[in-house]
Amino acid sequence: EVQLVESGGGLVQPGGSLRLSCAASGFTFSSYSMNWVRQAPGKGLEWVSYISSSSSTIYYADSVKGRFTISRDNAKNSLYLQMNSLRAEDTAVYYCAREGCSSTSCYFDYWGQGTLVTVSS
């Protein structure tokens, strides 16, 4: 059974840092690209960052570029999101999501339960 379990969320002051982790199990983690998606309270889904299976390709949403860093450790079956210079508008539930692909395109086929990040003084 595919499982994705996020951790590391919490309350942080504006300008602070936080590192999120996503522990994967039930599939060959090193074969899949992964993503972080967030959802501010009462708002819609916002894609945050993408990392390919080998970490060779990385993308960020403009809203987090230069502040957030995505990484992975395939030996530990883990995905990370280092978040620096946090702002109030980064307050959200952060989900990790596995990227599955058909012959033509890709989609997020498994999601974790999410971890809440609150940026407030």
Partner 1 sequence: DIQMTQSPSSLSASVGDRVTITCQASQDISNYLNWYQQKPGKAPKLLIYDASNLETGVPSRFSGSGSGTDFTFTISSLQPEDIATYYCQQYDNLLFGPGTKVDIK
Indicate the SS3 state at residue 106: strand
Residue (13 or 113) nearer to partner 1, CB: 113
Length, in residues, of the chain: 121
Q: CB 103 → partner 1: shortest distance, Å?
A: 9
| Per rule CB under 8 A, count of chain residues that contact partner 1 | 21
Phi and psi, residue 7, nearest 5°: -155, 170
x/- track of binding to partner 1 for residues 62-101 (CB under 8 A): ---------------------------------x----x-
Q: By CB under 8 A, name the one of 52, 69, 91, 108 that touches partner 1.
A: 108
Site for partner 1, residues 11 to 40, rule: CB under 8 A? 35, 37
Q: CB 35 → partner 1: shortest distance, Å?
A: 7
DSSP letters of 12-30?
E-TT--EEEEEEEESS-GG
Tell me the C-alpha distance between 44 and 41, whole Å. Answer: 8
Strands (E), 66-105: 68-73, 78-83, 92-101
Cα–Cα distance list, 34 to 28, 57, 62, 113, 119 (Å): 12, 11, 18, 15, 24
Q: By CB under 8 A, name the one of 31, 41, 75, 102 that touches partner 1.
A: 102
By the criterion CB under 8 A, which residues form the site for partner 1?
A: 35, 37, 44-47, 50, 59, 95, 100, 102, 104-109, 111-114
